[in-house]
Structure 1
């Protein structure tokens, strides 16, 4: 597994990515994203394609609750031993069911690129147009696990982080005063289709999705 693949797995397993196993030895990675994020899922696929038999597939799902069609792309890898380390790191077998958990030593595995993948999966603006603060959705994790992630971000990257609870869901917020550090850490690793999730330093966002590397470099210089 390349370092790029390691960052992808660590970051997205903190987010929307998941691993599945039948026996704890062979593991399969699965990714699903809305159609607007096709460049992102193709990026994931390009990194993991040696473990795949098919490219990301398009599908449309009708939700009876909202009466809307939702368009998405998804792909699965094969079941392989290469992902066993990450499976055992992030999953615990509870009465025959493998449940995702946050490793107690998660700080050791967090890198700026892994943080960028986590943000692209589950990050968002906290107050669009009013602040450069951001949040990380940690809805599926326990309070203790969220606090573990908070400590890792504070210790590893010296970010100012707080937790917020609503309806029994605890999320992380990275405060506006840490925007310069966060910007330096993850902006170089964000894909253009994900710029809309990240502040521009002036309480706004950069909304262009199909931009050249030259424009990206100009944007990077402007907000650093």
Structure 2
């Protein structure tokens, strides 16, 4: 099955964010999985409508409850999986490496990120993992990239600079393990350019993550 450009942008952008691919065939075939908390149901269904032809007639988004280990409370979330599809192998090869020590697939930022990080893909990346730095006090925004290595994060930073002349900084994030990881900060001076770049592709329920240029959100 040939993917549309919209499907490619969604998959690429969200794989930089919360989206993931799963394989049970040692990387020969893959399926895409999306999960969002109930407050972002509209966003989850946006992804589903775009990828519906990869899901089959019996696959629809489902709501379930899981225990949030950080708060020890039950939270509701929506999710769906596509069927396994050979078209997704391209993205599996690009994003995933098998770690024989941990016996699992790990996600990496692709070497060719600059080839595929168009504004719409960037919007999906930000909607997945972006946030305002300080509502009411700053126009700066951040992207939660702490799951990636520092090398991978610099690859994203370089892509933003080389493709769109957007300057970014890094801020530290301490994990529960006490390990220090890093997030990408989009400072005040870059916030207007970044907002205008992704604004045409934002889903309504995710606009609260984006600065309006006056210390509020869209």
TM-score relative to the length of structure 1: 0.88
Structure-2 residue corresponding to 1:218: none
Going from structure 1 to structure 2, the CA distance change for 1:64 and 1:146 (only over 3 Å counts) comes to closer
Query: Is structure 2 residue 208 aligned with structure 1 residue 175?
Result: no
**More divergent stretch after superposition (189-198 vs 162-171):** 162-171
Matches within 5 A, 1:115-126: 115-126=122-133
**Alpha-carbon shift at residue 177 of structure 1 (Å):** 0.9
Structure-2 residue corresponding to 1:210: none
For residues 67 and 183 of structure 2, what CA distance do their matches in structure 1 show?
A: 29
For residues 56 and 194 of structure 1, what CA distance do their matches in structure 2 show?
A: 19
Query: Is structure 2 residue 203 aligned with structure 1 residue 191?
Result: yes
Query: Is structure 2 residue 146 aligned with structure 1 residue 139?
Result: yes
The CA deviation string for residues 21-51 of structure 1, in whole angstroms up to 9 with x for no partner, is 1221110100100001011000100111111
Structure-2 residue corresponding to 1:222: none
For residues 86 and 44 of structure 1, what CA distance do their matches in structure 2 show?
A: 17
**Secondary structure, in 3 states, of the residue corresponding to 1:116?**
helix
For residues 135 and 63 of structure 1, what CA distance do their matches in structure 2 show?
A: 23
For residues 71 and 97 of structure 2, what CA distance do their matches in structure 1 show?
A: 34
**Secondary structure, in 3 states, of the residue corresponding to 1:19?**
strand
CA root-mean-square deviation: 1.2
Matches within 5 A, 1:19-168: 19-22=21-24, 23-53=26-56, 54-63=59-68, 66-95=71-100, 96-167=103-174, 168=180
**Alpha-carbon shift at residue 93 of structure 1 (Å):** 1.8
For residues 83 and 72 of structure 1, what CA distance do their matches in structure 2 show?
A: 24
For residues 89 and 76 of structure 1, what CA distance do their matches in structure 2 show?
A: 19
**Alpha-carbon shift at residue 102 of structure 1 (Å):** 0.8
**Secondary structure, in 3 states, of the residue corresponding to 1:164?**
strand
The CA deviation string for residues 193-223 of structure 1, in whole angstroms up to 9 with x for no partner, is 00111111100113xxxxxxxxxxxxxxxxx
TM-score relative to the length of structure 2: 0.91
**Secondary structure, in 3 states, of the residue corresponding to 1:115?**
helix
On the 8 A contact 2:123/2:202 being kept in 1, the answer is: yes
Q: Which runs of 5+ in 1 are unaligned?
A: 207-224
Q: State the number of aligned residues.
A: 206
